[in-house]
Structure 1
């Protein structure tokens, strides 16, 4: 699941493969903007069947936080 999440984030943010790490604060990526925010939320719903409300999404800081939230909601 993490590998697919990383690949999807790299695609949305137009990053080189292998760029994303669990400890990265995803909002600190150069290409992060409001469109990326919406794209990630939509990708989580489409690819993983996980809906995270905007308010809950704001509380996530790192890629690891995002991965853990997805895992928790998939269970």
Structure 2
């Protein structure tokens, strides 16, 4: 999954309009909550067959951190 596809996933998860979010946005400023976490985990599993580490996810502060979490999960496969 490249950065563009990843940003589309985040926009879908938050039901945000395309192009309204930035890679550097802080999760606490874009209404990322526990429901977004669950949706994100499910979509990553569905699209990539990858299990997201919930501890690493909880440490994520930005969209970029979420992307790094996905990269780590893919490498761990």
Question: What TM-score do the two structures reach when normalised by structure 1?
Answer: 0.80
Taking only aligned residues, the RMSD between alpha carbons, in angstroms, comes to 1.6
How many equivalent pairs are there? 74
How far, CA to CA, are the matches of 2:55 and 2:74 in structure 1?
A: 19
In the alignment, the residues of structure 2 paired with residue 72 and residue 66 of structure 1 have an alpha-carbon distance, to the nearest angstrom, of: 10
- Runs of 4+ residues over 6 Å off in structure 1: none
TM-score w.r.t. structure 2 length?
Answer: 0.78
Looking at structure 2, the residues matched to 10 and 70 of structure 1 have their Cα atoms a distance apart, in angstroms, of 16
Could you list the runs of 5+ residues in structure 1 that have no partner in the other structure?
none
Matched, 1:49 2:13: no
